[in-house]
Amino acid sequence: MDIKFVSLILGAYLFGSIPAAYLAAKWSRGIDIRQYGSGNVGASNLLKFASKRVAIPIIIFDLGKGAMVVWVAQLMGLGIVQQVTVGLAAIVGHNWPVFLRFNGGRGNLTTLGVVSILVPWLAPVVLVIAFSFVTFHQLALGVFLALISAPIAVWFFGQPLGIADKLPLTLGFLAMLLIVVFRRLTAPRTSLSASVPPGQLIINRLLFDRDIRDREAWIHRAPPEASSTEQEKPGKG
């Protein structure tokens, strides 16, 4: 295997591992975001406990993680298989960052960044499907369905693509779906889910990306020792 390609995979993983949301929460609120809300080290969880001015740059950065590494792979003249591999490395880095003892986020934004460079026309499709569930406060379900639709859309509607590109892209998007599923199902249990039966826990995590059905209790979760000022969401600015 080419040393440049191996180095790019390692670089993509380390770049993806940069815990921007964790650092932003520490700097802006003095909290460990893994102990709050969904526990995800990502922009969506950060937005619940910090202002838009703090969260928006993190959203851009997490998107850029995936987009940047695939773009660099393209600049290096690497093929589709290698581009997909590099993108997957960045997603794995975000979800299991070495800097946080392999407990990170869900990789939704980083995955979107990868998709936007690999298949630009697919990114808006994924966004529309995902955000169509926002009205019902079920973004996690929308993301899950959007990721299911991605490999299907590429395989059946990626007409300009030849089979040599369609197959690795389809398999790559399937791998992204499996990464999301695996990350949701293997997240550490919280005190709120101590009494939730395993079967119900699996369904809750798979479809809603939370341990319990009560959304409000889940997204406003905080450590028992947290002060009231830490638990309040600041005004958006």
pTM of the full structure: 0.88
Instruction: Tell me if 96 sits within 8 A of 105, measured CB to CB.
Output: no
Tell me, yes or no, whether 31 and 47 share the same domain: yes
Looking at the fold, whether 35 and 91 belong to one and the same domain comes out as yes
Note the pLDDT of residue 159. Answer: 64
Say if residue 196's pLDDT is above 80. Answer: yes
Name residue, tokens 């590099």.
Answer: 86
Task: Identify the band that residue 233 occupies on the pLDDT scale cut at 50, 70 and 90.
Answer: very low
Q: What is the pLDDT of residue 229?
A: 46
Question: Residue 15: inside a domain, yes or no?
Answer: yes
**Together in a domain, 176 and 60:** yes
d(C-alpha 71, C-alpha 62), whole Å: 15
Q: How many CA atoms lie within 13 A of 98 on its CB side?
A: 9
More confident residue, 40 or 71: 71
Which tens digits make up the pLDDT trace of 1-24?
688 899 999 999 999 999 999 999
**Cβ partners under 8 Å of residue 205, min gap 6:** 184, 185, 187, 211
Q: What DSSP designation does 34 have? A: G
**Contact predicate 81/5, CB 8 Å:** no
In a shared domain, residues 110 and 196: no
Q: Residue 171: give the domain boundaries.
A: 3-188
Please check whether residues 176 and 212 belong to one and the same domain: no
Q: What is the CB neighbour count within 10 angstroms for residue 187?
A: 19
Residues 131 and 208 occupy one common structural domain: no
Q: Does 219 or 151 have the greater pLDDT score?
A: 151
* Residue tagged 């790019």 (tokens): 8
- The answer, yes or no, to whether residue 214 has pLDDT greater than 90, is no
Asked whether residue 232 is domain-assigned, the answer is no
Question: What average pLDDT does the chain have?
Answer: 87
What mean pLDDT do residues 106-120 have? Answer: 93
In contact, 32 and 101? CB cutoff 8 Å: no
pLDDT attached to residue 237:
45
